[in-house]
């Protein structure tokens, strides 16, 4: 890992991404297809990429309902998609 990279933990897995990467992009690059589930249990993922649709919500460092398309990756960040957005 270099100074131009940060390490995050996604669903228990360590991931190294370029510094400044937006979390939604990092998750997509890692093959995450479902960022959360709807109230009916349907998988949900980003639609708009600019914070309007709220479909990309995940839990970041224990804080639920974070819109991953608006969050820059920070070294040591812990991301949970299973409990991420909930309903």
**Residue ranges per domain, the chain?**
5-84
What per-residue confidence (pLDDT) applies to 3?
Answer: 80
**Beta carbons within 10 angstroms of residue 13's beta carbon:** 10
pTM: 0.88
Q: What digits encode the pLDDT tens for the residues 24-65?
A: 999 999 999 899 888 899 999 999 988 899 999 999 999 999
Q: Hey, what CATH topology would domain 5-84 get? A: Ubiquitin-like (UB roll) (3.10.20)
pLDDT reading at 87 higher than 80: no
* Angstrom distances, CA of residue 39 to CA of 5, 69, 76, 84: 36, 21, 30, 13
């Amino acid at each position: 890992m270099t100074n131009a990279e940060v390490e995050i933990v996604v669903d228990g897995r360590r991931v190294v991404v370029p510094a400044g990467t937006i979390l939604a992009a990092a998750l997509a690059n890692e093959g995450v297809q479902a960022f959360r589930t709807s109230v009916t249990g349907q998988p949900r993922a980003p639609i708009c990429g600019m914070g309007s649709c709220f479909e990309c919500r995940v839990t970041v460092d224990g804080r639920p309902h974070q819109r991953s398309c608006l969050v820059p990756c920070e070294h040591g960040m812990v991301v949970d998609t299973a409990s991420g957005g909930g309903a």
